[in-house]
Structures are given as C-alpha cells and as structure tokens.
Amino acid sequence: MHDIRLRKPMANPSAAYGAAPPSGVHHQTLAGLLVLASLAVLMLVGSRVDPAFGTFAVLGVAIGGTLQRSRFCFNSAFRDLIQFRSGRTMKGVIVGMTVATAGFGIHMRNLLPNPSLGPIAPEAHAIPLSVALLVGGMLFGIGMVVAGGCTSGSLYRIGEGYLASWVSVAGILAGLVLASHHWNWWWQHAIRRAPVVWLPRYLGYGGAVAATLVGLGLAYGLVLWIESRGGVGVQEFTAPASVRSFHEKLREIVAAVFGRGWPAPVGGAVLGFLNVLSYTAHMPWRVVGELSRWGNAAAAVVGLGPGPLQGTDELSACVVTVGGGVFTHGFLLNVGLIGGSLAAALLAHEFKWRIPRRPVRYLQSLGGGVFMGYGSGLALGCTAGAFFSAVPSLAVNGWIFAMALVAGASIGLRAINWIP
C-alpha cells in the first residue's frame, strides 16, 4: 500500500485540502472568486474591442487553471522518467497529445484540403529540422531541470506565488533577446536550408494522423517498459467509498475539481482539448514567441533591441518576434494563464508566497531561464510550442525536439547533483 493516507478518516472530503476555518468561507476561496470575477469583467470589456480577445483570454485562463490543478509540469515528465523511471506525468503528456492529434488533423484538413501540393497548413507547428532544433532542445532541457520548471511551468507558478519563477521568466526573456541577436546567424547557417518534414504532405491526413497515433502508442509502451524496469509507481488519489448522499457526492465533486490535484491523464486530456480549441480559433498553444516580443520590446527601451530579423515571416510556431501591438492572442494566452493559475491556486487554498531561502536558487532560476530562453529561440518553441503542439501538428520536429530534451534533461540532472 503506497497511497496517501490521511491521518484522520475523511468524513468531510473537502478537509483533504487547506483547512477551512470552522465557520464561513475560507479567505482564499473569496480571493479566488474575486480574481475570477475580475478576469470575467476584463474579458467582457475586451470583447467589445475585439471578439477574439475574449476567446483567447478564456483559453489562457482555462490553460492556467488546468496546469495548476494537474500540476502539469513538462520538466517533471522528462526528469522523473530519467531519474525515477516514473512515467506518471509523461503518460498525461502523451494522453494530451493524442487528444490534440485527432483534433489538429481534422482542423488542418479544413484549412488545407490537399496537403500534397507543398504548402503547410497555416499555423501548424512544423519547424525546420536543423542543428538549431537539436541545440535548442538540449539547452532547453538543461535549463528547465536547473531552474526547476519549463516556460509554461514558470508562468503558472507565478500565479501560485513562487518568487523564483519571476526570476526564471526574467532569465527566459533575457535568453530570448540573446537568441534574437544571434538569430540571423542561425538562420543563415542552419535553419534556412533545413527541410521541414510535415507528414500529411507524404501520407495524407489519414496516414499522418495514424502514424502519429502509432508513434504516441509506442511512446506510451516505452514509458511502461521503462517503469517496469525498477520504476516506482505512485497511486492516484481515489475517492473514499463511503460517499453516499447527494450532498456528500456534490461535496466530493467540488473537492475533486477544486481541492485535490487532478490525475495527470485528466490534466493532459483537458490541455489537449484546449489546444484543439486554440488552434480552431487561430493557433495552437504556444508561449515563447510572445515572450520574445516582450523581451525584445524591453531591450529596445534600453537600446539593446535586436534589429531586423531574417526569414521569420517564412516560419510558423514560436519564431522570435519584434514589435506588434500589446494585446495579441499570445499576450492573452500567457497573461490569462497566470490569472487562471492564480484563481485555481486560491480556490484550492494552495496560494502562498514561496520565497527560496538559499540565494543559489535565484541564480539557478536565472541561469536556467537564460538557457531555456536561448534554446527555445533557436528551436522555435518550448515544451509547449515545439513539443506539445508540434507532435499533433503532424510534424516530425516535435519528436526530434523531445529527444534533444531528454539529452538536455540528463545533463541538467547531473548539474543539479553538484548544487546542494
């Protein structure tokens, strides 16, 4: 038996999370509802300016809430598999990509009925297979393990009150600015002539979806095999069998959704579904293209802007960007993500200002962030854009990026062992 055992029998399932005061509503519940209400007002006001404003703000909030509830951490998906042979989170990631693969396939067929002619479906995350993708993936893998979270992870942890995540994001922005300065070199020497391998061009949509699903099935099998070789299982929380009355059942549902963490496959499936919605509204879920815009705008203020970037209009996914308005869809996704995570953390009574006590942790967050920023600049995306949204885009680059991430995460784990 390796399940969580609460010290007292759970007469009240909601007692499983943050102890509520004996009477009245917990102050974090009130704060969470207030955050949700403020987000709703912002969306309604914004939707009068642009209808898509509301859509992407809602998607951002939903993605942030899902990441927080399921503790969906791409970093731990790779790290736990390597370190503990535990595939708990990675299985959730694979479930999410499976859901998105079907949805992306249908949507891309609507966008571009005949994929064999040459062009790639608009906004699909099909990225050139170049050395930059490999180097970028490895740097990103190192950075996420050292910083203790990837880009989307750092954003949702800002919502949970992690001070170090602000430092990580600052590092990511700095890394993206640096990558923007080096961009033209990488474009000329590596990315420009590299091939894009988008499966529907060769296999049609049906074949490409089937091949990707088989690939995901094999990946799931590989995770199971790794677990069977001395991995440690973690049992998901199960509802107490004693729940009977309607009132108790309602309370149990509320506790399961808002209180306890969601099982990884549930989080993955919801995230995959939200990704499909995001693509049908405009573009797959992506994070760092927008962050590069923030970084470069800030750099330009102090005279360190990167200047014109070559070839970026020929590329999709999270290509480094300069300029543009403030309220883009990417802005709403990223800022909504932080707001959604904050609301979810408050409703679960899990918000807390988390302040590292060891100064070296700030250095790790900053350094890891710079590695992630530079790596995602080269690879045209992070674990969200170049992996979670790339594999369902039916492009080979998502798989290559994942392999580079594994290599980088292994190096990152060695580095972590030297830092007490």
Partner 1 sequence: MLLDVRGETCPYPMKKAIEAMERLPIGEVLEVLVDHPPAIDTIRMAANRYGFRMDVEPAGSGEWRIYLRRDTMR
Asked if residues 102 and 93 have their Cβ atoms less than 8 Å apart, the reply is no
Residue 17 or residue 327: which is nearer to partner 1 going by CB? 17
- Interacting residue with partner 1 among 123, 160, 227, 252 (CB under 8 A): 160
150 CB-side CA count, 13 A:
32
Q: Give the shortest CB-412-to-partner 1 separation in angstroms.
A: 10
Which amino acid makes up residue 23?
S
The kind and range of the H/E element at 179 are: helix 163-186
Binding characters for partner 1, 236-265, by CB under 8 A (x = yes): -------------------------x----
Asked if residues 286 and 151 have their Cβ atoms less than 8 Å apart, the reply is no
229 binds partner 1 (CB under 8 A): no
151 binds partner 1 (CB under 8 A): no
- Interacting residue with partner 1 among 33, 40, 46, 84 (CB under 8 A): 84
Residue 4 or residue 214: which is nearer to partner 1 going by CB? 4
C-alpha span between 309 and 182 (Å, rounded): 9
Q: What are the two backbone dihedrals, phi and then psi, of residue 326, each rounded to the nearest 5 degrees? A: -80, -55
As given in the structure block, the two tokens for residue 315 are 């590329």
Neighbours of 5 (CB within 10 A): 7
Binding characters for partner 1, 316-345, by CB under 8 A (x = yes): -----------------------------x
Q: Give the shortest CB-167-to-partner 1 separation in angstroms.
A: 12
Residue 282 or residue 361: which is nearer to partner 1 going by CB? 361
Judged by CB under 8 A, which stretch of 84-92, 102-110, 179-187, 203-211 contacts partner 1?
84-92
Residue 19 or residue 241: which is nearer to partner 1 going by CB? 19
- Interacting residue with partner 1 among 164, 199, 379, 405 (CB under 8 A): 164
Q: Give the shortest CB-190-to-partner 1 separation in angstroms.
A: 33
Asked if residues 407 and 136 have their Cβ atoms less than 8 Å apart, the reply is no
The kind and range of the H/E element at 170 are: helix 163-186
Binding characters for partner 1, 41-80, by CB under 8 A (x = yes): ------------------------------x-x-xx--xx
Beta-ladder partners of 198? 395
Residue 128 or residue 261: which is nearer to partner 1 going by CB? 261
Q: Give the shortest CB-217-to-partner 1 separation in angstroms.
A: 25
233 binds partner 1 (CB under 8 A): yes
Which amino acid makes up residue 68?
Q
291 binds partner 1 (CB under 8 A): no
As given in the structure block, the two tokens for residue 75 are 């970093």
Residue 94 or residue 378: which is nearer to partner 1 going by CB? 94
C-alpha distances (whole Å) from 82 to each of 139, 337, 375 are 17, 28, 21
Q: Residue 182, by phi and psi: left (phi above 0), alpha (psi -120 to 50) or beta?
A: alpha
403 binds partner 1 (CB under 8 A): no
- Interacting residue with partner 1 among 91, 125, 293, 349 (CB under 8 A): 349
DSSP states of 189-214 as a string? IIITTPPP-BHHHHHHHHHHHHHHHH
Helix (H, G, I), strand (E, B) or coil at 162: strand
Residue 2 or residue 244: which is nearer to partner 1 going by CB? 2
**Vertex 345: Cα angle to 342 and 351 (nearest 5):** 90
As given in the structure block, the two tokens for residue 98 are 């499976």
What is the radius of gyration, based on Cα positions, of the chain? 21
Where along the sequence are the contacts to partner 1 (CB under 8 A)?
1-2, 4-7, 16-19, 28, 71, 73, 75-76, 79-80, 83-84, 86, 88, 148-149, 160-162, 164, 232-234, 261, 345, 349-352, 354-358, 361, 416
